[in-house]
Structure 1
Amino acid sequence: MSGLKARINAGETVIGTFVKTPASHVIEILGLAGLDFAVPDQEHAPLDLGAMDQLALASRAAGLPLVARCWGQSPARISPLLDLGCAGVMVPHVADRDTAEAVVAAVKFGRGSRGLSPSPRAGNYGTLAAPAYTAKSDAETVVMVQIEDRAALDRLDDIASVPDVDVLFVGPADLSQSLGCGFPSAELDAAIIRVIAAARRADVAAGLFVGDESQIAPWRERGVSVFVCGSDQGLLMKGARRIIEAGRA
């Protein structure tokens, strides 16, 4: 699972999906399906730390990196997810440089403020010496900051230039709400293109949520390389509807 950050930083296209169901089987299935990563969604689903522990355990079995979308931006919300063995975090509503700096400080031991114990799963239950553990974590953990506020659009270069930010990830639903425009709409597309341009200037990846796989290719051509497509619930709904539509045709 350690290759996700390297792949993102190399500009590879990586595709994942949100996970909103607190069941380890979902992670196993998505891993077998061949996704590059999954995003357990604490912001909009009933995933407490106990549920996240089970999903992170399943992710190791399935070889599927988890980038957890956490409840908030504080170290108390971020660090425990990494201790469980998540490959990174996706942090909502990062609208300025100070917030981005605080997120990175909560993730990277090298910033000097993240609480250190090699005893959790991420440290192989204490079998990794502290220096090896901190070096491995800092080298491999993915930091995705979500751009989903009008205010963030005027601070994109400041946010993108924070060292160790890997992805500017657009949350189009919240961004459209903040802008007061449609989802989809030409105004929203223009804002997303601004994020892509800022990511390119800073040599970081641009990420985007898309509701359907048909949207991946057009946005990849525009410069997006990190995609979260739908969710486990959406995949189940689409599959069930296809069955009933075909059966009643």
Structure 2
Amino acid sequence: MTSNLRTRIRAGELLVGSFIKTPSPHVIEILGHAKLDFGVIDQEHAPIGIAQVDMMALAGKAIGLPLLSRRWGASVDWISPLLDLGLAGVMVPHVVNADGARAVCDAVRFSRGKRGLSPSPRAGNYGGIGIADYRAKCDAESVVMVQIEDESALAHLDEIAGEPDVDLLFIGPADLSQSMGVSYPSPELDAAIEQIIAAGKKAGVAIGLFVGDAGHIAKWHASGVSVFVCGSDQALLRKSATQMMATAKTEKE
């Protein structure tokens, strides 16, 4: 097995993670023990600040669970501070064209000359890595996931996937269906997902997809999706607790 998440993504491994909506290092530790391939700290849909991400990143490093983050906003100013904490990469919502993809990559890769450079944070072992080695390590390992979740992006898939530093097109089916004005699930949404998969294959870029249930993974993996975010920590907890109570009440009756 290869050593870092970006290499595994580019090798086409089947990888499964989850969104993490609870700002707790303990949750990170538990999911690490559960052997998830990665986790995505969900700053877009959960109240998680940078100080909380700091502690979650610390837990991720301790347990060996690669973490990314996604958050709201058209600006990419949030990306560099999170990578400085030692996150494995970012997932950026609502990328609709080449300009959007380019801005994300500029914020991640030092080689593009626009990301602020200092090896002093956790990502640089608090100054323990020299600048040249730090630049090379970060550029080799940081993951760029751009989310395709707008109908307008479907006309620009080739240019988004063609941006050299994009590692993965991540499909957000709920927002994409909303943007298209179709049901989730629906044949129209499935056709759009297949269109995104085809663009990824053409460009040699991995495809990711959110699924609410692990039972949907096999179907989409067979179609060419290799990276899955399955539910969230809160959904896992709720489902397990609901099943426990249903079982307990059924047995009592």
Please give the secondary structure, in 2, of the residue aligned with 1:115: coil
Residue 29 of structure 2: aligned partner: 28
Q: Report matched runs for 1:219-234 at 5 Å.
A: 219-234=220-235
Please give the secondary structure, in 2, of the residue aligned with 1:154: helix
Please give the secondary structure, in 1, of the residue aligned with 2:77: helix
What is the rounded CA distance, in whole Å, between the counterparts of 2:29 and 2:62 in structure 1?
7
What is the rounded CA distance, in whole Å, between the counterparts of 2:14 and 2:171 in structure 1?
16
- Is the CA contact (8 Å cut-off) linking 1:74 and 1:106 kept in structure 2? no
Q: Report matched runs for 1:26-175 at 5 Å.
A: 26-175=27-176
Q: Name the CA shift for 1:111/1:57 in 2 (closer, same or farther; >3 Å).
A: same
What is the rounded CA distance, in whole Å, between the counterparts of 1:178 and 1:74 in structure 2?
21
Please give the secondary structure, in 2, of the residue aligned with 1:39: strand
Please give the secondary structure, in 2, of the residue aligned with 1:34: coil
Please give the secondary structure, in 2, of the residue aligned with 1:75: coil
Q: Kindly state the Cα deviation for residue 2 of structure 1 after the two structures are TM-superposed.
A: 5.2
**1:168 partner amino acid:** L
- Any stretches of 5+ residues in structure 2 without a counterpart? none
2:238 is the alignment partner of 1:237: yes
Q: Kindly state the Cα deviation for residue 73 of structure 1 after the two structures are TM-superposed.
A: 4.6
Please give the secondary structure, in 1, of the residue aligned with 2:185: coil
Q: Kindly state the Cα deviation for residue 67 of structure 1 after the two structures are TM-superposed.
A: 1.3
- Is the CA contact (8 Å cut-off) linking 1:20 and 1:231 kept in structure 2? yes
Q: How many residues align?
A: 249
Q: Kindly state the Cα deviation for residue 64 of structure 1 after the two structures are TM-superposed.
A: 0.2
**1:3 partner amino acid:** N
- Is the CA contact (8 Å cut-off) linking 1:168 and 1:204 kept in structure 2? yes
- Any stretches of 5+ residues in structure 1 without a counterpart? none
What is the rounded CA distance, in whole Å, between the counterparts of 2:143 and 2:123 in structure 1?
14
- Is the CA contact (8 Å cut-off) linking 1:167 and 1:204 kept in structure 2? yes
Q: CA RMSD in A?
A: 1.0
Residue 5 of structure 2: aligned partner: 4
2:208 is the alignment partner of 1:204: no
What is the rounded CA distance, in whole Å, between the counterparts of 1:38 and 1:244 in structure 2?
27
What is the rounded CA distance, in whole Å, between the counterparts of 2:72 and 2:37 in structure 1?
23
Q: Kindly state the Cα deviation for residue 76 of structure 1 after the two structures are TM-superposed.
A: 1.6
CA deviations over 1:203-230 (Å, ceiling 9, x no partner): 0101000000000001000100000000
CA deviations over 1:6-37 (Å, ceiling 9, x no partner): 01001111000000000000000000001000
What is the rounded CA distance, in whole Å, between the counterparts of 2:10 and 2:74 in structure 1?
23
Please give the secondary structure, in 1, of the residue aligned with 2:95: coil
TM, length-normalised to structure 1: 0.98
Q: Name the CA shift for 1:3/1:135 in 2 (closer, same or farther; >3 Å).
A: same
Q: Kindly state the Cα deviation for residue 74 of structure 1 after the two structures are TM-superposed.
A: 2.7
What is the rounded CA distance, in whole Å, between the counterparts of 1:80 and 1:222 in structure 2?
36
Q: Kindly state the Cα deviation for residue 72 of structure 1 after the two structures are TM-superposed.
A: 3.1
Please give the secondary structure, in 2, of the residue aligned with 1:155: helix
TM, length-normalised to structure 2: 0.97
